[in-house]
Amino acid sequence: MNSEVKHRRVRTNGIWMHIAEQGSGPLLLLLHGFPELWFSWRHQITHLAAKGFHVVAPDMRGYGDTDSPPHHSSYTYFHLVGDIIGLLDDLNQQQAFVVGHDWGALVGWHLSLFRPDRVRGFVSLSVAFPRPSFMSAAFMTKTFGDGLYISQFQEPGRAEKAFGRYDCSTVMKKFLLIDKDDPLIAPPGVETIDFLHTPSSLPSWISEDEIRFFTQKFEETGFTGGLNYYRAMDLNCELLGPWNGSKVTVPVKLIVGDKDIGFSVYTKSYIEGPVLKDLVPNLEVVVLADAHHFIQQERPQEITDEILSFIAKLSS
């Protein structure tokens, strides 16, 4: 096994993508979400590499040391999935095991939908396969109002200006340590970032040094790249018409925390109902008690074990 995490950039789908990688063996991709980096997988990379995998965690398009196209029209699922296909090609691998969290999970779902031939199995953290009507920003704004964070993220520059009222470390803490008691729907006239509480102390699962790693990178890049994922939501809904009703046929394990802010709002009833089971016929669901949204950081060993047990089942 390679003894340390190595870093390099690869050319994929018209951009340069930074990847962190370790180990050798079957390819295992780890895709992060908002507002994160490859570093979100710091606990999993070494442990999974030690179990005989070539683990690759990219900075996704718009983040960290990966290129960040300026306009949101360059952040559709077709761009994001294309980035991963190009990465697989650069690594000379026909297939990979894929794990995604938050927006990385949405990329993983659509990679599995568009190109099941390239996915050996998919683990989705915190995000179920999306119902198209629920992924329209226009629908969400109509349903929940302008106080919804997704609505506030739509206008270019608005969230960036609001974030700018705080130091970057505070912004990271507000998002990474969000709790189900911090609903992401602000009162009228209030910005999401102002509504989120600033924790007075850090939980045991993250340190000031780890917050600082995120902070230093976002101080360099800003948040526009990550916000562009949200700004492409309505465009995605237009482009996904040909896939309405299509099933994800690859094996999937969905892992959610019961304290995730979205769990009680929509995920619980959705994963227990017939629609998701019909759309994802080869699905296993795991609900972690007392776990929040950023579960790969909060509950690293459990997530690593769940990934390994899923792969073992596929390989048996």
Catalytic residues: 102, 230, 293
One-letter amino acid for residue 225 of the chain = G
CB-based contact 67:16 (threshold 8 Å): yes
Lookup: tokens for 181:
């008691």
Buried b (16+ CB within 10 A) or exposed e, 236-247: bbeebeeeeeee
What is the DSSP code (8-state) at residue 267?
A: I
Instruction: Give φ, ψ of 231 to 5 degrees.
Output: -75, -15
Within 10 angstroms of residue 202's Cβ, the number of other Cβ atoms is 14
Class of residue 133 by CB neighbours under 10 A (exposed 0-12, middle 13-18, buried 19+): exposed
What is the identity of the amino acid at 105?
A: A
- Cα separation, 220 vs 61, in Å, equals 15
Residues 6 or more apart from 72 whose CB is under 8 A from it?
156, 228, 231, 232, 235
Peptide bond connecting 26 to the previous residue in cis, omega within 30 degrees of 0: no
Report which DSSP code applies to 165: T
**Listed residue (279, 34, 250) closest to 134, CA to CA:** 279
- What is the distance between the alpha carbons of residues 54 and 120, in angstroms, rounded to a whole number? 14
CA–CA gap between residue 205 and residue 259 (Å, rounded) = 16
β-strand pairing of 119-125 with 27-31: unpaired
Four-residue CA torsion sign, 135, 269, 183, 36 = negative
- Give the C-alpha separation, 158 to 102, whole Å: 22
